[in-house]
């Protein structure tokens, strides 16, 4: 019994020494983990700082790009509200009639259906200059009518103020700007729109002489199907960029091409460059 007790004591001493070594190893591992945690926390902070610095650089480049090369502005029109004009001419008109006229003014028949548009007739959005604008309600029927007229009319187009020219130019510039923004923001666009610079020439028969880009909107006259398809792709790309930069969804409209782009590159967009 005494010898057995001695053997048990020796084994217990071995277990105690082994437990001490394990405790030292455990403390060493804990110290190592704390060092790694501090290092990860520091790296995370440095990474966050670099992201913020990169976002500020992107934001600076975008604001410089849209203020110098591609300024997007809201152009006021002189059109008056027909409800106001009618109420002035007829003092006996009821308030319900005035409200109905105002509601009718905010409604547009587009692509076979009625679309509510609060900006209809009030303003238009310009790009690169006040002379290149797009309709607020997304109604590009002027381009379709011009293409149909060109098919039946022979000879050069001498009308410098043709709205189809400005529509084509504005969409061409918008495509170029969207592709440039996708490179700056490092965001892949869901739809592909060709926009490569080629030989210098006049893109459209008007007073605007620009560098021509091999764009789907610049060059040959597009059919209604091809034109509508290209516009939908451009609008999808713009909305994708707006979503990536957390633009307020209440401001966006799927048909407002340049207005959505204006909200995207606005200095008030807090997350621009993220």
* 86 located within any domain: no
Cβ 206 vs Cβ 170: under 8 Å: no
- Dihedral angle, C-alpha 262, 268, 272, 274, nearest 10 °: -150
pLDDT of residue 136: 76
* 79 located within any domain: no
Cβ 173 vs Cβ 133: under 8 Å: no
* 14 located within any domain: no
Domain ranges, residue 160: 57-74+96-265
Q: Which helix (H) or strand (E) holds 124?
A: strand 123-127
For the ranges 31-45, 179-193, 196-210, 239-253, the lowest mean pLDDT is seen at 196-210
Report the alpha-carbon distance of residue 256 to residue 134 in Å, rounded: 9
Cβ 136 vs Cβ 123: under 8 Å: yes
Question: For the chain, how many residues are written?
Answer: 274
* 149 located within any domain: yes
pLDDT band at 224 (very low <50, low <70, confident <90, very high): confident
Most confident of 26-40, 184-198, 201-215, 216-230: 26-40
pLDDT of residue 15: 93
Q: What is the mean pLDDT of the chain?
A: 77
Report the alpha-carbon distance of residue 274 to residue 264 in Å, rounded: 12
* 209 located within any domain: yes
pLDDT band at 196 (very low <50, low <70, confident <90, very high): low
The predicted-structure confidence for 32-91, as pLDDT tens digits, reads as follows 999 999 999 999 999 999 999 999 999 999 999 998 899 988 887 654 444 444 444 455
The total of structural domains in the chain comes to 1
Give the number of other CB atoms < 10 A from CB of residue 273: 20
pLDDT of residue 155: 54
């Amino acid at each position: 019994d005494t010898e057995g007790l001695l053997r048990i004591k020796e084994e217990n001493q071995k277990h105690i020494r082994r437990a001490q070594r394990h405790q030292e190893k455990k403390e060493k591992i804990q110290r190592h983990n704390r060092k790694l945690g501090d290092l990860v926390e520091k790296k995370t902070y440095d990474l966050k700082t670099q992201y913020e610095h990169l976002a500020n650089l992107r934001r600076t480049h975008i604001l410089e790009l849209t203020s110098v090369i591609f300024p997007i502005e809201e152009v006021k029109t002189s059109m008056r509200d027909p409800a106001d004009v009618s109420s002035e001419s007829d003092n006996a008109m009821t308030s319900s009639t005035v409200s109905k006229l105002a509601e009718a003014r905010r409604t547009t028949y587009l692509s076979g259906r009625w679309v509510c548009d609060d900006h209809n007739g009030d303003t238009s959005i310009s790009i690169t200059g006040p002379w290149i604008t797009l309709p607020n309600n997304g109604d590009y029927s002027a381009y379709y009518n011009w293409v149909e007229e060109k098919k039946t009319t022979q000879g050069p187009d001498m009308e410098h103020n043709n709205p189809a020219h400005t529509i084509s130019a504005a969409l061409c510039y918008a495509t170029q700007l969207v592709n440039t923004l996708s490179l700056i923001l490092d965001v892949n666009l869901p739809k592909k729109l060709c926009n490569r610079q080629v030989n210098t020439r006049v893109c459209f028969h008007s007073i605007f002489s620009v560098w021509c880009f091999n764009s789907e909107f610049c060059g040959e006259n597009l059919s209604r199907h091809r034109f509508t398809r290209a516009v939908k792709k451009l609008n999808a790309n713009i909305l994708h960029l707006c979503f990536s930069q957390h633009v307020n969804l209440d401001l966006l409209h799927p048909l407002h091409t340049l207005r959505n782009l204006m909200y995207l590159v606005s200095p008030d967009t807090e997350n621009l460059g993220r």
